[in-house]
Structure 1
Amino acid sequence: MCGICGIYHYGNSANGFDEALLIRMSDTLAHRGPDDSGTFLSPNRRAGFGFRRLSIIDLSPAGHQPMTSPDGSIAIMLNGEIYNHQVLRKEFEAKGYRYRSRSDTESIMYAYEQYGLDFVHKLLGMFAIALWDEKEQRLVLTRDRIGIKPLYYTFANGQCIFGSEIKAILQHPSVPRELNDDALDAYLTFLVSPAPMTMFRNIHKLEPGHMMVIGKDGAIRKEQYWDPLPTGRQPSIDLDGTPISHSKLLDAGIPSSEESCIATIRGLLKQSIKDRMMSDVPFGVFLSGGIDSSTNVALMAELMNRPVDTFSVGFRHLEQYNEMGYARQIAREFKTNHHEVLIDEKMAFDFLPMLIHHQDEPLGDPVCIPLYFVSRLARENGTIVVQVGEGSDEQFAGYPSFLRELQLYRWLWKPYQAVPAFAKSAIFNLASAFLAKRHKYLQLDYIRKATSGDELFWGGVNIITETHKQFLLNGEKPGGSNGANDLASRWHGEVLRRDPSADYLKRMIALEFRNRLPELLLMRVDKVSMATSIEARVPFLDHRMVEYSMTIPTKYKIRHGEPKYILKKAVEGIIPRNIIYRKKQGFAAPVSEWLRKEWLGFAEDAILGSRLMQRGRFNREYIKATFENHRRGLRDEGMQLWALLNLTLWYDSWIEGKH
């Protein structure tokens, strides 16, 4: 895990740029790589890289980056890990390559020499890669299939400027800090800006599974090289890490039985966790006591000859948010070396400025707060690499909201489309008056979607509905379009074009992989764990697992009203039944409690006094009423207020301030 940044000057300037600028850019990423730093300049000074290293594989100076090929024709940087690099090394050594290090980065470089732009299909892992090809005079940027690692870029004055974090890009004098109105509207719906947007106008994020090539004349080619939907065409990687034309898992087609499905999931999980134990530094597991993290611990314990290091976080005086008892049960069961931290509202409050700094753009999920403290706990105990449980709920339909929205689609939205338009309009008008008076905005939003024929499922977040936004934004649309609805419609259309037979649950899962999983859930893990200089690995999001899980029929994912059915069956006998079948609690943060008490005055002042408010973006009376309703306990508006607090603190610091 590292920090990468760089500039490619494809314009007419003959002087290129100063190496000092690259150093300033990479210095903003020091937390991502405290162990080493480096720069690279092409011979004509048109391309330059800056790098910060967190040493994980090959701790020696031989693993230094940017790394160049023996003849100097290729320079490369990697943020992430390639878990099959030893398999690739054997292949390339057999072809006569002489390695100068034990690092995975060197194998990527030789894969590019052998396979050109198809090199990405040979890689198993998480990665953001920047590669300079001196012979072709082109820059290659690519992001891993799932989007575990971030990569941002912009174009300004004949230059492509890129980095692992936006703060590196903003060091460049040609890059202004301007709010992206379309992203603002999307953030209010999704709690994040969907790729390729960011909250900064003209700064973009490379989408998961995409590669972008910038040629010497400035020609830009961006292509999607992988999709989670099974197409039968995507090159894959077998269980032993060998790149192949078509995965044997895909060739098997739809699972023929529940038993074969269970066996395959177990095999994939065990292999994925084993692959992600590759490290030259200490590693452990974030343990919540849920199915996913407990499975990580159990399978890792099978493979180790020492106790697994486990780390848990809880909240002082707020037991209803804690899962510590379940985490301790797993720690005892598998005899782990267990560590815990309890946080309170003051610790969380004091962390807010650091959170705003490390996010770069607002991530409206308060789980960033406990995630920081458990990451810091791991680092303080000497652990540099951790495995986390993200991705399981998306693949296997583990959220209760999936079941609710699937039922709504089947029993309300779908049959409602047969109702005549005049009748739907009359029903909506009656329901609107009734539900709005009772502040039932989510229910009103469902009826609005059914009436207008909009897609029902937009993503796994229902905090600020379109009705909320009407009040909040004084009836205006920041981006001047139909915003989130257009995005959701486009995403559903993309899924159906790729897989016309996809049922509604598969469409829902595909949408999660399109936006919420990579841009919100995985970015909170990346940004916050890297703030403490540790690397987080995600075994449930091995792309072989994703390719297989997308072939599993809905009847195995939700059965008899049981979400995540097939995964629960697969881990029976691996972890205790009471862990598997307890009510889902989820990793959460008690911002609703804090915003009624210790944080209330600060949050009111921050939001109502923000520059966004002063510029007339928000309805002051609506926000004041929202605070009052929350304070008095009339409604729980904690998540909505947190999303607005995060947004306004970010805007005042990053756009209006001098961050």
Structure 2
Amino acid sequence: MSRIFASFAARATDSELAAASSRQAHGGRDGRGIAKGRGWALGCNRLASTDPETGRQPYRLPHLPGIVAVLDGEIYNHHSLRRRLRACGHRLVDRCDGTLLPALYAEYGTGFAQHLEGMFAIALIDLRAEPKLVLATDEQGMKTLYYHTSAEGKVHLSSELPGLLAFSQVPAQEREAGLDEYLTTGTCLGNQTILKGIRTLPPAALAVAGGGSGLRVWRRSSLARPAAVTPRESALQEEVGRLARTHVPVCSVLTNEPGSRLLTAVAARHQTEAEAAPLNSFHVSYGGRRSVAEQTAAGLVAQRGGALHHKVIISPAELPELLPRTIWHLGQPHADPAAITTYAAFRAVRQAGFTVALTAEGADPLFAATPTVPSQEDAARRDGGNWISPYVESLAAVPRPLRESLYTAEYQEYLRFLGATADRLAASLASDPADRSTAVTDFETGQLFPAHLRRLDHLSAAWAVQARLPFLQPAIAAAPRHGSADAPCRPATPYGAGRQLLPETLLRRPPAARTCPFEAMLAPGTPLMELAHDTLASGRLRGDGRLDPVAVKSLLADQFQEPSASRAKALWALLVYELWNQELHVLRPAQPRDDALLESALAAA
């Protein structure tokens, strides 16, 4: 794993490249490297999980000096590719997985990424003729690459937003609609960011710049692979075994989800069968009576597999310190409190000496573990039979009536002109010709899941830990299900892999509701409430023009007088947003707001 950055068709100064590297140094502590030429630069901060002794980035082979590459992530099939490329006459100088990238590109051109298996974001410069920039991401988008292109065709990119903002030619200007989108969904949807003109590459992306044109991005095709014949339960065991093979020890992050319990059980058995050291598992909770049951269940899962279990409890006194650090590493506001537990989990992993961890991201659809669509009966009772409005409202970081009461009159006018995020989401879902379940699955996969993967990528890198995701490997999704036409199994349910490892009571135990003790954490007198008051009651909100400081102050007063979970959740979202704003202004001095759309809205009104 590495943190990578680059510029193309632009002049990046040495101080900008140094700043981009420094702002991402936490994610790659085993070496820094920069290659540059006229109008281009590639750089990386390396975390060595394959060939720690001799691997070096940027990658450049002696017999292919005109091809330079950097890699964030891992290539799992590099051994077979290495044999193929050597048979073609290429000389590979070490055992590092990314070393083969120049040779693979020399053989297959822009189709090189079709041959890769793994989790990766790649930037490559081809200098053999007119300079060309080539970017590629893995099929699931497990590794993030932010980019900005100017009207003149200048391209800048980075693994993390703070690194991208080290380039002075990249603007740090928030989109006007970003605040409403964030408070409506708790995150930035899809490949969009909260900053104007900055996006992330989508999954399975190929992007090319050169010849005087800007960056062109499209979804690359995949090579046809043999149909899977291994049942999904066996495929999971094989993938865990493959991802557990590394030059450094591997551990497991254990959450309250069924997929995570199964993953830890399978990984623990693999360690036993491989006669390796026992698996270490890490489980995080906020403490208190409500988390005792989940702590106990996690401990039992580890105990059954013979894993060495680490119970990590977040103290309320830590939150004022943990929250700003988490927000800085995310690079943009994210209202899900699971971000803090993710940050704390990888902190514990790293402090225990591990740099590679197995996690169960991507398992939810396989287990149908987290239904997010209200039932038809609930929807009918709540909204006259319409499921869309309750579903969109279920995503909100701040409920709509409260959200709109926090906006200034000016911002409300703007949203009436543009269309509130909730209305635009509802219209998009209503226009989908698919059935309800398919429409929601498509939305969550395409719009919500990328933000979830960005969170995992950034917060594992915050502690220089490589998170490996067995459930997102193609072999799991493509594997056939056991069952027959008369007695089919539930779609995509790999419980069979755990039947010999965990009792049914643990394996099928429903996950705890994905809630956070907001009310307790933001009660009067708590450290976090003091931070919220100091941050939100200050004069900073007055210069924004979108949030009404009087309304925010009233919300704080109501929470002091009569604490409630809904108000605490809203204060959490506002606190995250304002702390992010403070971090942004540290990274880059305040820039003028883009008022063109706002002025148009007011004129139309």
Q: TM-score range by the shorter chain?
A: 0.7 to 0.9
Q: Structure 2, unaligned stretches of length 5 or more?
A: 590-605
Check 1:172–1:408 CA distance in 2 against 1; reply closer, same or farther (3 A cut): same
Q: Where do 1:464-475 residues align within 5 Å? A: 464-474=398-408, 475=412
Q: Structure 1, unaligned stretches of length 5 or more?
A: 11-15, 226-233, 236-243, 253-262, 413-430, 432-442
Aligned: 1:509 with 2:441: yes
Q: 2:146 aligns with which of 136, 145, 152?
A: 152
User: Any idea what SS the aligned residue of 2:177 has?
Assistant: helix
Q: 1:201 aligns with which of 186, 196, 201?
A: 196
TM-score under structure 1 length normalisation: 0.79
CA contact 1:76–1:129 (8 Å) conserved in 2: yes
* Aligned residue in 1 for 2:595: none
Query: Partner amino acid for 1:37?
Result: R
Query: Partner amino acid for 2:110?
Result: L
CA contact 2:4–2:45 (8 Å) conserved in 1: yes
Q: What is the CA distance between 1:548 and its match in structure 2?
A: 5.6
Residues of 2 paired with 1:623 and 1:448: CA distance?
34
Aligned: 1:114 with 2:107: yes
Aligned: 1:362 with 2:355: no
User: Any idea what SS the aligned residue of 1:49 has?
Assistant: strand
Q: What is the CA distance between 1:47 and its match in structure 2?
A: 1.1
* Aligned residue in 2 for 1:77: 70
Query: Partner amino acid for 1:583?
Result: P
The number of residues matched between the two structures is: 575
Q: What is the CA distance between 1:493 and its match in structure 2?
A: 8.8
* Aligned residue in 1 for 2:418: 481
User: Any idea what SS the aligned residue of 1:276 has?
Assistant: helix
CA contact 1:154–1:162 (8 Å) conserved in 2: yes
Residues of 2 paired with 1:24 and 1:644: CA distance?
29
Residues 330-371 of structure 1: CA deviation (Å, up to 9, x unaligned): 121111122222221111222233223212111111112222
CA contact 2:518–2:565 (8 Å) conserved in 1: no
Q: 1:608 aligns with which of 537, 548, 563?
A: 537
Check 1:568–1:636 CA distance in 2 against 1; reply closer, same or farther (3 A cut): farther
Residues of 2 paired with 1:342 and 1:449: CA distance?
41
* Aligned residue in 2 for 1:572: 499
Check 1:4–1:315 CA distance in 2 against 1; reply closer, same or farther (3 A cut): same
Check 1:270–1:644 CA distance in 2 against 1; reply closer, same or farther (3 A cut): same
* Aligned residue in 2 for 1:332: 303
CA contact 2:262–2:507 (8 Å) conserved in 1: no
Residues of 2 paired with 1:102 and 1:302: CA distance?
28
Q: Where do 1:589-628 residues align within 5 Å? A: 589-597=516-524, 598=526, 599-609=528-538, 611-620=540-549, 622-628=551-557
Q: What is the CA distance between 1:448 and its match in structure 2?
A: 10
Residues of 2 paired with 1:302 and 1:618: CA distance?
53
* Aligned residue in 2 for 1:285: 252
CA contact 1:147–1:208 (8 Å) conserved in 2: yes
Residues of 1 paired with 2:89 and 2:236: CA distance?
34
Query: Partner amino acid for 2:403?
Result: K
Structure 1, 336-345 or 320-329: larger mean CA deviation: 320-329
Residues of 1 paired with 2:470 and 2:530: CA distance?
41
Q: What is the CA distance between 1:533 and its match in structure 2?
A: 1.2
Aligned: 1:303 with 2:270: yes
Structure 1, 117-126 or 18-27: larger mean CA deviation: 18-27
Residues of 1 paired with 2:356 and 2:48: CA distance?
10
User: Any idea what SS the aligned residue of 1:245 has?
Assistant: coil
Check 1:280–1:392 CA distance in 2 against 1; reply closer, same or farther (3 A cut): same
Structure 1, 287-296 or 276-285: larger mean CA deviation: 287-296
Residues of 2 paired with 1:267 and 1:300: CA distance?
13
User: Any idea what SS the aligned residue of 1:603 has?
Assistant: helix
Q: Where do 1:183-198 residues align within 5 Å? A: 183-198=178-193
User: Any idea what SS the aligned residue of 1:131 has?
Assistant: strand
Check 1:657–1:288 CA distance in 2 against 1; reply closer, same or farther (3 A cut): closer
CA contact 2:155–2:214 (8 Å) conserved in 1: no
* Aligned residue in 1 for 2:163: 168
Q: 1:98 aligns with which of 91, 94, 97?
A: 91
CA contact 2:147–2:198 (8 Å) conserved in 1: yes
Q: What is the CA distance between 1:20 and its match in structure 2?
A: 4.0
Q: What is the CA distance between 1:387 and its match in structure 2?
A: 0.7
User: Any idea what SS the aligned residue of 1:323 has?
Assistant: helix
Residues 420-460 of structure 1: CA deviation (Å, up to 9, x unaligned): xxxxxxxxxxx9xxxxxxxxxxx4xx55966xxx6775597
User: Any idea what SS the aligned residue of 1:274 has?
Assistant: helix
Query: Partner amino acid for 1:124?
Result: E
TM-score under structure 2 length normalisation: 0.86
CA contact 1:610–1:652 (8 Å) conserved in 2: no
CA contact 1:19–1:41 (8 Å) conserved in 2: no
Check 1:116–1:535 CA distance in 2 against 1; reply closer, same or farther (3 A cut): same
